[in-house]
Amino acid sequence: MTQPKYVIGIDFGTDSVRAVLADTADGNEIATSVFEYPRWKQGLYCDAKNHQFRQHPLDYIEGLQSVISNCVQKAGKEIADRVVGISVDTTGSTPIAVDKNGTPLALLPEFSENPNAMFVLWKDHMAIQEAAEINEHAKQFDINYLQYVGGIYSSEWFWSKLLHVFRKDEQVRSATYSWVEHCDWIPFLLCGGDNVKDIKRGVCSAGHKSLWSEAFNGFPPNEFFASLDPLLDGFTEKLPQETYTANQAAGKLSAHWANQLGLSTDVLIGIGAFDCHMGAVGGQIEPYYLSKIIGTSTCDILVVPKEEMHDKLVHGICGQVDGSVIPGMIGLEAGQSAFGDVYAWFKRQLTWPLKQIAAQNNLLSSEQIEAIENQILSTLSERAAEIVPRENDELALDWFNGRRTPDANQRLQGAITRLDLASDAPHLFRALVEATAFGAKRIVDRFIEQGIPVKGIIALGGIPRKSAFIMQMMADVIGMPIRVHQSEQTCAIGAAMFAATVARVFPTLEDAMKQMGQGFDKEYIPNQERTGIYANRYAQYIALGQFTEQQTIQP
């Protein structure tokens, strides 16, 4: 009888990192652990008003050690000795400047408090101007170098962020040897890398955010970047032209990390990828089923068999890349720049006076305030669910953090209209939830309009598991059933499936998905009685969006 084998999946989210130690025989979660980033929680290095969101690499390093060590301790030495693989997913595009050793500049004393030397988080939109320049510049070339990223480059992505940092900070620019995605750096770290040339870049990050494509034999030519800005002249020479799918190994766990974590140096480390891509695998994605990882934002993933994609190019999405999700299939990515963040914004507005008054008058303890905060959204959901939608109710746009897809434009802003003296908190909350559902429908419509059928929706993440009101609203608006995956850690379990494939426990990723998948435990069926009213309100949402976009000042 063969000995059981175990793997660890690591999911670096926006607010925390999560780990799952799983049994490869059935996907059973032996141990889990969560670590909240302490510096991020304090709001350090961020300036929301100016769209600056940076994360210190120490948050990631401390979190990585904490969650793996915690899982190993919970599982016990017998199981820890049988861990054969670790794979990692992260947010993206979340790049950082590194030196020749592959060390993030923020880990050097002279840059330890410099936000430009830290990870530039996916939601950082300071590079809006640079993205606009890239989009305009690309029109000058016979080859459309943006064709595989939906035709529009975003301020959330690799090159626009690099150019912005280089323009803003000469010290960081002079010290930078290369520019590395978070999902590519963590495997390098675990393998004990000390030479930036040894970093193995995943096709997921390179293809969706960095303009890498087999069709271009790698990145666009140096002329493209040098003529955009001389600061980028020669930079692609510092980036490897070869990329890897996430079912391949980056190397083995280093002696240092093995000692720190209580694991063997025989543990294989997988190539990294973005959270939504590995999350889709953890959620048992199927061809033509849209996988929605729903949290602070959403990331939407479709996979299409390569032979069925032909030469289709989907405009206005976040890229289509061969093997970025499942090797042998084309991975298509879309998403909304704000989803849960919209509800969190509304909650902050409601709690601000409570916190201020309570603090000034010692009316409530911090524990009592926190208890009230934790009940606000659930209470709003209960009340909003009782409201029968009407055609002329309050109407909102979900672009509170710009628009990711369709057609990236991070200059756009949210809006709420049709307010009157009868507008109360439940009605406003309902309008915001409806807006996020309309934003989700726009993505489904874009795929269908461009010749990619969508057969159904798979929902993953905390919101789908916690809010029946939000998910029923989305099913009603989109007009499709939504299946909710029963795992609460789909991104981490997806990473674990990749780790099992990297360690050759399974010959293919599909085999790992079948063996380790945990299935679905909820399904939301559209309420046909509300189809007509939502169709009318969706048309109004589109019109409001068009009007708002016309008023937005463009570069």
**Residues 406, 316 contacting (CB under 8 angstroms):** yes
Residue type, 271: I
Tell me, yes or no, if the two domains 6-283+487-520 and 340-485+525-551 fold the same way. yes
Extract the tokens encoding 424: 């109360």
- 531-551 vs 425-449: helix axis angle to the nearest 10? 90
Q: In Å, how far are 25, 249, 280, 540 from 513, measured between CA atoms?
A: 11, 18, 10, 41
Residue from 254, 264, 276 nearest 187 by CA: 254
Extract the tokens encoding 101: 């050793």
Question: How far apart are alpha carbons 398 and 185 in whole angstroms?
Answer: 32
Residue from 149, 79, 161 nearest 119 by CA: 161
Residue from 548, 335, 310 nearest 460 by CA: 335
Per-residue pLDDT of the chain (555 residues; tens, 9 = 90+): 578 999 999 999 999 999 999 999 999 999 999 999 999 999 999 999 999 999 999 999 999 999 999 999 999 999 999 999 999 999 999 999 999 999 999 999 999 999 999 999 999 999 999 999 999 999 999 999 999 999 999 999 999 999 999 999 999 999 999 999 999 999 999 999 999 999 999 999 999 999 999 999 999 999 999 999 999 999 999 998 899 999 999 999 999 999 999 999 999 999 999 999 999 999 999 999 999 999 889 999 999 999 999 889 999 999 999 999 999 999 999 999 999 999 999 999 999 998 888 878 888 888 888 899 899 999 999 999 999 999 999 999 999 999 999 999 989 999 999 999 999 999 999 999 999 999 999 999 999 999 999 999 999 988 999 999 999 999 999 999 999 999 888 999 999 999 999 999 999 999 999 999 999 999 999 999 998 999 999 999 999 999 999 988 665
Q: Which residues pair with 98 in a beta bridge?
A: 104, 178
pLDDT at position 256 is 97
Question: How far apart are alpha carbons 386 and 68 in whole angstroms?
Answer: 44
- pTM for the full predicted model: 0.92
Q: Count helices and strands (H / E) in the chain.
A: 20, 22
Give domain 340-485+525-551's CATH number out of 1.10.3730.10, 3.90.850.10, 1.10.10.60, 3.30.420.40: 3.30.420.40
192 in the Ramachandran plot: left (φ > 0), alpha (ψ -120 to 50) or beta?
left
Report the Cα–Cα distance between both ends of the chain, in Å, rounded: 66
6-283+487-520 belongs to which CATH class? alpha beta
pLDDT at position 555 is 54
Extract the tokens encoding 509: 């990723």
Alpha helices in 191-326 (DSSP H): 203-209, 222-228, 255-261, 275-282, 306-309
Question: How far apart are alpha carbons 26 and 33 in whole angstroms?
Answer: 19
The full set of domain ranges for the chain reads 6-283+487-520, 340-485+525-551
Say if residue 192 is exposed, middle or buried (CB neighbours under 10 Å; 0-12, 13-18, 19+). Answer: middle
Question: How far apart are alpha carbons 457 and 459 in whole angstroms?
Answer: 6
